Amino acid sequence: MNKLELPANSTMLNKDFVYGVATASFQIEGGIDDRLACIWDTFCATEGKIADSSNGAIACNHYEKWQDDIKLIDSLGVDAYRLSISWPRVMNQDGSANQQGLDFYIAILDALIARNIKPFVTLYHWDLPQHLEDNGGWLNRDTAYKFQEYVELVTKAFGDRVHSYATLNEPFCSAYLGYEVGIHAPGKVGKEFGKKAAHHLLLAHGLGMQVLQKNSPNTMNGIVLNFTPCYPETSADQAAANYADDYFNQWYIKPILDKAYPTIIDDLPKSQQPEVFDGDFEIISQPLDFLGINFYTRAIYTSHDEEIFEQLPPPAPITDIGWEIYPSSFTKLLTDLNSRYQLPPIYITENGAAMADTFVDGQVNDLDRLNYYQQHLVAVNNAIEQGVNVQGYFAWSLMDNFEWAEGYLKRFGIVHVDYDTQQRTIKQSGLAYRDLILSRP
Ligand code: FCB
């Protein structure tokens, strides 16, 4: 099959279901001379951290090519574009505005609005200003208050241009990958760091939400969380899988919706527990207008004596980045969350696949990626049929880009990028996505 299809009665074929594409500042922009350094600049400059020793200096050169890129986005027929703001581009070290940086984003927002494309803005997609990391980064509670000042500055500057604000993208990745296992910036390693960083990120989210409610009450405000559903290898491993689920997934949603960490917090040694001040959960649990969910894969766990759980290597089929393709876990994730929590409306803010694309005769015939999208769109539709209120879906990503620790080796785009010429070519998956969107009656 070379097209994307949904059942004729699917609510995902309604005109008001939002389809979009997503990117993030550090992954596409380049243009590093006009902003402060961020933790990913430093991390990329550290030997051995990035698979191809690359960095974000040029990336997709979106900083210069943004006007063409917005035309490209428009040509895909999407209703919305999810982008992130680079904190070190818009705020100087003394907290004052970098007007040139703000103007860059304001021009993008205006161009999107002129084309009737809804801007979904993520305020923090991992590019923490390096000077804040030098003061402890997310291990320093004060960084949450610095984030609040940044949200204040951005919301005032952007006015009513934004359709939706998300405070953070995937605090799990910032906290666990960045401060516990060190495979993301800033590369800190230690079990005593992860949950502390997570708590300050969640606090930043709550403080940011307060500013959004005050300065931007008419936008749809929320947060983007990632989930990797945890499956047991055998029924004897159910407790291990549940523990991993609490540690990696529920840890980030439960404080926001239920004002508490999962009860496994009591099993953690004191040194690994976050420092929770009185009133923190009240701040963290600001009402959400929406919850953004990013989904790529599931994980399988077995029991482990010391570590409680151990992740097994993913079985086939896997994508080029090694993630198992298991679409039914997407439906299950959504229905499980829906029965567990009082959820606000859901937007799938990222879903997609890295594939080993080939560029032949000016085309990328990525039927493997197209098939991934087909299966996962149906998985979302199945969840909607089971009562989950999903109102939108964003493909990750608009175009191939800097895939963090993997550098430019893994391609997630529905648009191909030739990094030598910066030429963009819509892949078969992108054409099929466009056709699905335009086919809506
Ligand atoms: C998510 C990130 C996004 C991208 C995809 C593949 O964790 O939010 O920036 O790298 O994974």
Q: How far apart are CA 295 and CA 376, in angstroms?
A: 9
Is 280's C-beta closer than 6 angstroms to any atom of ligand 1? no
- Which residue(s) pair with 347 in the sheet? 292, 392
Q: Report pLDDT for 139.
A: 98
pLDDT confidence tier of residue 349, bands split at 50, 70 and 90: very high
Residue 68 has pLDDT above 80, yes or no: yes
Residue 158 DSSP one-character state: H
Contact 4, 435 (CB under 8 A): yes
> Which among 403, 406, 410, 414 is the best mutation to test ligand 1's pocket, defined by most ligand atoms within 8 Å of the CB?
403
What range defines the domain where residue 181 resides? Answer: 11-438
Which helix (H) or strand (E) covers residue 207, if one does? helix 191-215
Residue 361 has pLDDT above 90, yes or no: yes
Percent pLDDT > 70 in the chain is 100
The total of structural domains in the chain comes to 1
Binding-site residue ranges for substrate: 27, 125, 169, 296, 396, 403-404
Q: How far apart are CA 396 and CA 369, in angstroms?
A: 11
**Beta-carbon contacts of residue 35 (< 8 Å; ≥ 6 apart):** 86, 88, 89, 98, 101
Contact 170, 110 (CB under 8 A): no
Q: pLDDT digit string (tens) for 389-422?
A: 999 999 999 999 999 999 999 999 999 999 999 9
Q: Report pLDDT for 29.
A: 99
- Residue 28 to residues 57, 61, 69, 80, 267, Cα–Cα distance (Å): 10, 6, 11, 18, 41
Q: Report pLDDT for 21.
A: 99
262 in a structural domain: yes
Of all protein residues, the one whose alpha carbon is nearest to atom 9 of ligand 1 is 24
Q: Report pLDDT for 1.
A: 74
Write down the mean pLDDT value for the chain. 98
pLDDT confidence tier of residue 227, bands split at 50, 70 and 90: very high
Pick the catalytic residue from 29, 133, 170, 324: 170
2 in a structural domain: no
Q: What is the CA radius of gyration of the chain?
A: 20
- Residue 140 to residues 85, 137, 380, 405, 420, Cα–Cα distance (Å): 22, 6, 38, 24, 40
3-state secondary structure of 129: strand
Q: pLDDT digit string (tens) for 286-332?
A: 999 999 999 999 999 999 999 999 999 999 999 999 999 999 999 99
Residue 242 has pLDDT above 90, yes or no: yes
- Is 275 among the catalytic positions? no
**CATH number of residue 299's parent domain:** 3.20.20.80
Q: pLDDT digit string (tens) for 100-117?
A: 999 999 999 999 999 999
4 in a structural domain: no
pLDDT confidence tier of residue 441, bands split at 50, 70 and 90: confident
Q: How far apart are CA 196 and CA 190, in angstroms?
A: 11
215 in a structural domain: yes
- Write out the two tokens for 90: 């818009």
Residue 98 has pLDDT above 90, yes or no: yes
426 in a structural domain: yes
Averaged pLDDT for residues 255-260:
98
Q: pLDDT digit string (tens) for 171-180?
A: 999 999 999 9
Q: How far apart are CA 412 and CA 70, in angstroms?
A: 18
Phi-psi region of 294 (alpha: psi -120 to 50; beta: other; left: phi over 0): beta
- Write out the two tokens for 276: 């929770």
CA contacts within 13 A on the Cβ side of 387: 7
3 in a structural domain: no
- Is 170 among the catalytic positions? yes
Is 230's C-beta closer than 6 angstroms to any atom of ligand 1? no
Rounded-to-5 percentages of helix, strand, coil across the chain:
45, 20, 40
Contact 173, 136 (CB under 8 A): no
67 in a structural domain: yes
151 in a structural domain: yes
Q: How far apart are CA 194 and CA 175, in angstroms?
A: 5
Is 412's C-beta closer than 6 angstroms to any atom of ligand 1? yes
